[in-house]
Structure 1
Amino acid sequence: MTMRKRFQLFRPKAADNGRLLGVVSDFQRFSIHDGPGIRTIVFLKGCPLRCQWCQNPESMLARPEILYIRNNCIGCNLCQEACPTHCIEAVSGRGIVIDKAACLLPLCGACQAVCYANAINICGRYLGVDEVLEEVELDREFYDRSGGGVTFSGGEPFAQPGFLLALAAGAKDRGLHTAIETCGQADWEVMEPVLAHLDMVLYDLKHMDPETHRQLTGVDNRRILDNLRRIDRLGLPIRVRLPLVPGRNDSPENLRATAAFVAELTHVEALDVLPYHRMGEPKWGQLDKDYPLHGLAPYTKDAVFALAAIMEAYPIEVTVGG
């Protein structure tokens, strides 16, 4: 890839002659856990929550960001030489340190362009609706054979409402099955138009107590629960997802409250228990952030199924792993 092409990847919306652009962090192909069939997941950047266990911290901010993988760095200093604002400094024992206030992203990308050791990666590309959907349609044959399609995820996809609406409508116009994975923390006036173009909703519930939810994610859950009830009244198929985190939301009281709430809904296909894991922790360090749950051990398999059994007493299907 040429230097010019890399710079184009990070162009801002204002530089694209009015064409609607969104910030996409990644595409995940051949997914089988985020809706029916084989799917492509489109990860949009930006999220209103700050979950302590977030597995995609690079998707919290709705703009391109630099991730620095120190173990890959070979100390060649090419990134320092290429940086037009000299915001990269080599620091003994730390590799390089980037002054993000002085960094020119999204107008730049020179550091990644010269980093052949793959130590600097820029997460987030400004893409148009057709660019995203053309990427999704590369695997159209797999969707048609398996009953799959596209799933919009994040971050929180409703954090880019205009772009999401255009993506969902465009995907339906192309005959694709559409799903969304959402935390539900958005204005209903933003969500409702998008839902008209969706075939399924994957809905995260973090905790049933409003104050505990605030402590764990930065916001309470009142709007989240209300929006889930509204979606249920629309008749869309829903899979509720519970990220099960040791010592945070795994008490029997919270599990029973979650199951009781979900059991009252009409169009929920299942309650999916997603056991805590630490695979996202390295990305916190790559963003120069402290991981809030450092050292927290994941559950054993037996412990996960014992906790899931608490919710199986309610009239809902409970699955482990989605």
Structure 2
Amino acid sequence: MTIGVSNIVNQKLKGRIFNIQRFSLNDGPGIRTTVFFKGCPLRCLWCSNPESQQGAPQLFHLSNLCTRCYRCISVCPTGSTQVGSGGEVVIDREKCKVCGKCVEACPNEARVVMGKEMSLEEVFDTIKKDSLFFRNSGGGVTFSGGEPTQQIVYLRSLLKLCGAYGFHIALETCGYVAWEVLKSILGDVDLILYDLKHIDPIKHKQLTGVENQIILSNLQQIVKLGQDVVVRIPFIPGCNDSHENIEAVGMYLREIGQKRVDLIPYHRLGEGKYRSLGLHYKLEGVAINTEENVQRAVMALKNFGLDVEVI
């Protein structure tokens, strides 16, 4: 059955998307297409997708691909791209308007605009390409970010579209959103992937820029409603990997009746993105988790009756 986009939602709506990743395997069950929304209210020190944080488009400069042909400099209308003291290409981020002219001029794809406005139809057409894989693997679509609920009207429309086609829908959220907003879309979501960074509100603010009272309250209410939820815990050395925090998280989840947990060990895959954005990575030099520490956390959580998977 073919269902037209215009029959379900306002097809003129556009959202800010920075990536659509097909054939994802760790964003819910089966083979999935993950749609990454731009904009996030948190500023996690370990964020592996720093390009997701700002709502506006940003310019990536991939210095390893740059051959110093300087074509970007010749086409820059604001003079924000210049030659540095060592002959390297540098960007004045305050002057740059992210017009994209340098991206078009670069012969080596060393520049990329991260984030663009996409219509509902553009996004949905990409999702539909993998419908056969969804059916055969028990997969579906996952909306991630950033924080998808920051573009709630656009998100709600995509949920309606995917639901009309019978796709399994997962939503990854940091939970830092008004309860009424979150509650309004729960009926259109099959699975919530709920991030939990730290149980202590003060430390949570130090690590993410916001306190966690709203996050914990929303999680409790979602679980109470019987929603299918997987709590996702990033396991970051020196940040939230202490025995005290893991014990407190386990106790809290048991108290509210939450069972399923994904533990996500720290990785440095996003570190290069900070350089590409002209940003400093605040966890530079932090070692990855040892297998011993990961298994210790897994056992501590399991002692509270939780079903734990390391991803």
TM-score range, shorter-chain basis? Answer: over 0.9
Could you tell me which runs of 5 or more consecutive residues in structure 1 were left unpaired when the two chains were aligned: 1-17
Deviation at 1:298, TM superposition (A): 0.2
Question: How many pairs are equivalent?
Answer: 302
Residue 136 of structure 1 pairs with residue 152 of structure 2? no
Whole-angstrom distance in 1 between the partners of 2:186 and 2:105: 42
TM-score by length of 1: 0.90
Aligned to 1:15: none
Query: 191, 203, 208: which is aligned to 2:199?
Result: 208
Secondary structure at the residue paired with 1:160? Answer: helix
Secondary structure at the residue paired with 2:275? Answer: helix
Task: Please tell me whether the aligned partners of residues 237 and 269 of structure 1 are also in contact (alpha carbons under 8 angstroms).
Answer: no
Query: 243, 253, 275: which is aligned to 1:285?
Result: 275
Task: Please tell me whether the aligned partners of residues 48 and 156 of structure 1 are also in contact (alpha carbons under 8 angstroms).
Answer: yes
Deviations 1:229-285 (A, max 9, x none): 11112221000011000111111111011111112334x451111000111111011
Deviations 1:170-205 (A, max 9, x none): 111121110011110011122122222100000010
Deviation at 1:94, TM superposition (A): 7.0
Deviation at 1:28, TM superposition (A): 1.1
Residue 66 of structure 1 pairs with residue 59 of structure 2? yes
Deviation at 1:129, TM superposition (A): 1.1
Of all paired residues, the percent bearing the same amino acid is: 43
Aligned to 2:164: 173
Secondary structure at the residue paired with 1:273? Answer: strand
Deviation at 1:86, TM superposition (A): 2.4
Could you tell me which runs of 5 or more consecutive residues in structure 2 were left unpaired when the two chains were aligned: 1-10
Task: Please tell me whether the aligned partners of residues 305 and 320 of structure 1 are also in contact (alpha carbons under 8 angstroms).
Answer: no
Q: Which moved more, 1:60-69 or 1:257-266?
A: 257-266
Residue 88 of structure 1 pairs with residue 85 of structure 2? no
Mapping for residues 258-297 of structure 1, pairs under 5 Å: 258-266=249-257, 268-297=258-287
Secondary structure at the residue paired with 1:196? Answer: helix
Deviation at 1:53, TM superposition (A): 0.4
Mapping for residues 192-271 of structure 1, pairs under 5 Å: 192-266=183-257, 268-271=258-261
Mapping for residues 22-171 of structure 1, pairs under 5 Å: 22-93=15-86, 95-105=88-98, 108-171=99-162
Whole-angstrom distance in 1 between the partners of 2:178 and 2:195: 16
Whole-angstrom distance in 1 between the partners of 2:39 and 2:244: 31
- Amino acid aligned to 2:232: R
Aligned to 1:5: none
Task: Please tell me whether the aligned partners of residues 259 and 305 of structure 2 are also in contact (alpha carbons under 8 angstroms).
Answer: no
Whole-angstrom distance in 1 between the partners of 2:303 and 2:86: 53
Secondary structure at the residue paired with 2:46? Answer: coil
Task: Please tell me whether the aligned partners of residues 168 and 178 of structure 1 are also in contact (alpha carbons under 8 angstroms).
Answer: yes
Aligned to 1:21: 14
Q: Which moved more, 1:154-163 or 1:196-205?
A: 154-163
Residue 311 of structure 1 pairs with residue 301 of structure 2? yes
Distance 1:141 1:269, change over 3 A: farther
Deviation at 1:226, TM superposition (A): 0.5
Secondary structure at the residue paired with 2:185? Answer: helix
Whole-angstrom distance in 1 between the partners of 2:12 and 2:79: 32
Task: Please tell me whether the aligned partners of residues 43 and 153 of structure 1 are also in contact (alpha carbons under 8 angstroms).
Answer: yes
Whole-angstrom distance in 2 between the partners of 1:162 and 1:182: 16
Whole-angstrom distance in 1 between the partners of 2:87 and 2:142: 38
